[in-house]
Structure 1
Amino acid sequence: MNSCARWAVSSVRVICLPDQCRQSNGMPGWTRKMLRPAARRLVRRLWLLGAIGLLTACAPSEPVRIGFVGGLSGRVADLGSEGKDGALLAVEQANAAGGLSGRRIVLMVRDDAQDPDKARQAVRELIAAGVQVIVGPMTSAMAEAVIPLADEAGVTLISPTVTGSHFSGRDDHFFRVVSSSAEYARTAANFLADARGARRAALIIDLSNAAYTVDWAEHFGATFAEHGGTVLRVERFSSAEQASLLPQVERMLHDRPDAVVAVAGAVDAARIVQAVRQRAGQIDLLIADWAASERFVELGGAAAEGVWAPQYFDRDDRSPRYRAFHTAYVERFDTEPGAASVAGFDAANVALAALSAKTDASVKAHLLAQTRFAGVQRPIVFDRYGDAARPIHMAVVHDGRFMLVGEGERQ
């Protein structure tokens, strides 16, 4: 019996019925004579109602429910799984610290399988369950599918990894803790042109996430052209079809580019890199931030060595805050965290901070009022549209892991 229940029982015991009052504490028996049977029945009912009320007050509070939506199956499961694990760690740490005002937090996880219909169904289920905030989605294509539903229901989405630039500057219920794809693409184009001297590039993009890949390619091409560079060819494929990518790779290499850029998820980027290395071993290879995960390094093997990628995540961060996160993540999941792990942890903590606010304001209103939240590696600062920006660096795969390019670029 918990302390609240013990208090309730002891409180009930001090309430005496008329029959009992005659026998206890030397009280006179006139109570029984003066109270008619109907009155005694009323007292008994009031006594029972009081007892029930006291015990009901001791019942556990309803948990605080937040949602998670991401691709946990299929070819982009690495991104969704990392984001889910990061969010789960944040929730578990919050529960260990007492929850939200003593209420337990429950993370309701849904798999969108990188399918718009499944994503919409997942969000509908979470809205029906009464969540006020959802961590996710994880890709721009899924964001396109579910933002209208969230807006209609007044439920806030906080995405760890969606970067599509056309979501910027909108007054909606969509927030994100990372920069837009325009910033990643510009960083990549500037690097290839300035640091690598490239002037001829070929791109290959996955149309299954066209809201991200087409946007990324357009911003890359525009920035590359500012340096006198030319995008010779943009090859397209759909990871949903799982077809061979050799025809696209051979067409790209036929134009003799200085660099090949893969704008795809980790699984397909690894396939592209391996095919290019077999045919043009010394060419510069760059992958977009979507693929820059530990899964890419694992699948790419030796072919992944020397591949460049733009990203904000610093795996060698020595700050106490990151080291504490890293230790907790490895102990909980027995694997190294990736960029999506950090972003999922950050997004969930932003959601929890908004839900813990002692105001009647909506989650969206609170986020826009506070604007600045702690992050694992950097503060998260939202503009008036819920968009965030983080410094982006270039990384390279070296000895089987991503490392930032140049010690001086670390801040």
Structure 2
Amino acid sequence: MNLKFFPESVPVRSGALLVMLVISVLMLGCSAREPIRLGFLGGLSGRVADLGIGGRDGALLAIELRNASGGINGRLLELVAEDDQQDADSAKQAVARLINNKVVAIIGPMTSAMAVATLPQVNQAQVLMVSPTVTATELAGTDDHFLRVIDSTTNYASRSANYHFSVQGSRRITVAFDLNNKAYTESWLSDYRKVFEAAGGTILVAVPFSSSDDAHFSALAQRLLEPGPDGVLILANSVDTAILAQQLRKRNAAVHINACEWSATERLIELGGKAVEGIVIAQFIDRDSQQASYLAFRKAYQARFKREPGFAGLTAFDATNVVLEGLAAQTSGQTLKSVILERREFAGAQSRFRFDAYGDAARDTYLTTVRKGAFVRL
């Protein structure tokens, strides 16, 4: 930057000039306001990094758009992202760093297991955590510092169970569920079981496994097919769902394969190929939406990151904007949580959603299938 403090024709002694330059720099420093820091917590490395990276980028886009319009009350915003590595101890350490960094709120985490692990910390520090994708039922109905912009597993599991029984005609189901995120998968399975069995269906066997590169998906597929089910339900991330679907299809071309919203990233289709064609998932994004706000968001995300936002990018964008709108409306003496819950209803990039008194949100749900290599609404 080329700054001139004096006309070139006016002689100034070098010592006096140095003093005045120092004073000017100090004054500029004093007038520059510290940025408002928001934290992000998600898995940015490892097996399920697509979920965390999509969430981080959705949050980053929301902040960049707000900064482009002047920030909040003249202050710019900064995202401080931490990798929880989908590990409880790593997540706790990451949250501690965010709290020490004096973030005003944390966007995340992206999985229920990490939310359960870190909730005591944010409650103690009274730092608001707003999750884009956590759905575990055990986190519902509690007055704490955890909010989420989607429904609990009850909604997605119930919609899925009704469809499997009434439309697919499935009566005998086997289930595989990942213990690495059991706060989510066990909650999902419990909600599903209630509805499916009440309708007259039977869950023949529910097989737990732990997600890892050396998980034995061939043996798992064999065990799931042994009882002769007419449907297999996979409660796992996108990578494991894709691999297991391929193993199932090698052995049975006719059995219905279904999954949960956790798996519904673009990577599921990329890795699963023909094996995931026809898979049915209840989720909280309609990728074919022609709503103007969604199209504008999708265009901005694609331009910035050169890929589709998916559900993680969409809901992280929404969660971040909830925090930003709350900060813009916050007055002296108000907590960020109280501002958000008093307002209750927010316009997301695709659909409106409404918080209840405990910070659990209700929003549109869409039954989708994979058809010709793309998610489409049923």
Query: Which bracket does the TM-score occupy, shorter chain normalised?
Result: over 0.9
Aligned partner of 1:153 in structure 2 is: 125
| Aligned pairs for 1:327-342 within 5 A | 327-342=299-314
Query: Distance between the aligned counterparts of 1:2 and 1:100, measured in 2?
Result: 29
What is the CA deviation profile of residues 336-357 of structure 1, one whole-angstrom value per residue up to 9, with x for unaligned ones? 1201110010011111111112
Which amino acid counterpart does residue 43 of structure 2 have in structure 1? G
Aligned partner of 1:393 in structure 2 is: 366
Aligned partner of 1:289 in structure 2 is: 261
Matched-pair contact (CA < 8 Å) for 1:267–1:299: yes
Q: In the alignment, is residue 243 of structure 1 matched against residue 215 of structure 2?
A: yes
Matched-pair contact (CA < 8 Å) for 1:236–1:248: no
* Uncovered stretches (5+) of structure 1, i.e. residues with no partner: 10-47, 406-411
Note the C-alpha offset of 1:58: 5.8
Query: Distance between the aligned counterparts of 2:362 and 2:26, measured in 1?
Result: 50
Which amino acid counterpart does residue 201 of structure 1 have in structure 2? I
* Uncovered stretches (5+) of structure 2, i.e. residues with no partner: 7-19
Matched-pair contact (CA < 8 Å) for 2:113–2:180: yes
Query: Distance between the aligned counterparts of 1:121 and 1:58, measured in 2?
Result: 33
| Aligned pairs for 1:10-409 within 5 A | 55=27, 59-240=31-212, 242-360=214-332, 361-405=334-378
Query: Distance between the aligned counterparts of 1:322 and 1:135, measured in 2?
Result: 20
Note the C-alpha offset of 1:241: 6.5
Note the C-alpha offset of 1:302: 1.2
What is the TM-score of this pair, normalised by structure 2? 0.92
Which amino acid counterpart does residue 384 of structure 1 have in structure 2? A
Matched-pair contact (CA < 8 Å) for 1:64–1:105: yes
Describe the SS at the equivalent of 2:368.
strand
Describe the SS at the equivalent of 1:380.
strand
Note the C-alpha offset of 1:53: 12
Query: Structure 1 residues 303 and 57, CA, compared in 2 at 3 Å: closer, same or farther?
Result: closer
Query: Distance between the aligned counterparts of 2:25 and 2:224, measured in 1?
Result: 74
Between stretches 365-374 and 325-334, larger displacement belongs to 365-374
Matched-pair contact (CA < 8 Å) for 1:262–1:287: yes
Describe the SS at the equivalent of 1:256.
coil
Describe the SS at the equivalent of 1:356.
helix
Query: Structure 1 residues 333 and 58, CA, compared in 2 at 3 Å: closer, same or farther?
Result: same
Query: Distance between the aligned counterparts of 2:24 and 2:266, measured in 1?
Result: 55
Query: Distance between the aligned counterparts of 2:104 and 2:304, measured in 1?
Result: 27
Query: Distance between the aligned counterparts of 1:57 and 1:136, measured in 2?
Result: 33
Note the C-alpha offset of 1:2: 11
Query: Distance between the aligned counterparts of 2:154 and 2:287, measured in 1?
Result: 23
Matched-pair contact (CA < 8 Å) for 1:187–1:393: no
Which amino acid counterpart does residue 362 of structure 2 have in structure 1? A
Describe the SS at the equivalent of 1:385.
coil
Describe the SS at the equivalent of 2:134.
coil
Which amino acid counterpart does residue 97 of structure 1 have in structure 2? S
Note the C-alpha offset of 1:322: 0.5
Query: Distance between the aligned counterparts of 2:201 and 2:217, measured in 1?
Result: 25
Instruction: State which structure, 1 or 2, has the greater radius of gyration over its C-alpha atoms.
Output: 1
Which amino acid counterpart does residue 340 of structure 1 have in structure 2? A
Query: Structure 1 residues 280 and 54, CA, compared in 2 at 3 Å: closer, same or farther?
Result: closer
Percent identity over the alignment is: 44
Matched-pair contact (CA < 8 Å) for 1:163–1:212: yes
Query: Distance between the aligned counterparts of 2:250 and 2:340, measured in 1?
Result: 49
Which amino acid counterpart does residue 361 of structure 2 have in structure 1? A
Matched-pair contact (CA < 8 Å) for 2:330–2:339: no
Query: Distance between the aligned counterparts of 2:123 and 2:26, measured in 1?
Result: 40
Which amino acid counterpart does residue 368 of structure 1 have in structure 2? L
Q: CA RMSD in A?
A: 1.9
Query: Distance between the aligned counterparts of 2:257 and 2:274, measured in 1?
Result: 13
What is the CA deviation profile of residues 211-267 of structure 1, one whole-angstrom value per residue up to 9, with x for unaligned ones? 000111111111101110000000110014632122221111111111000000000
Matched-pair contact (CA < 8 Å) for 2:330–2:336: no
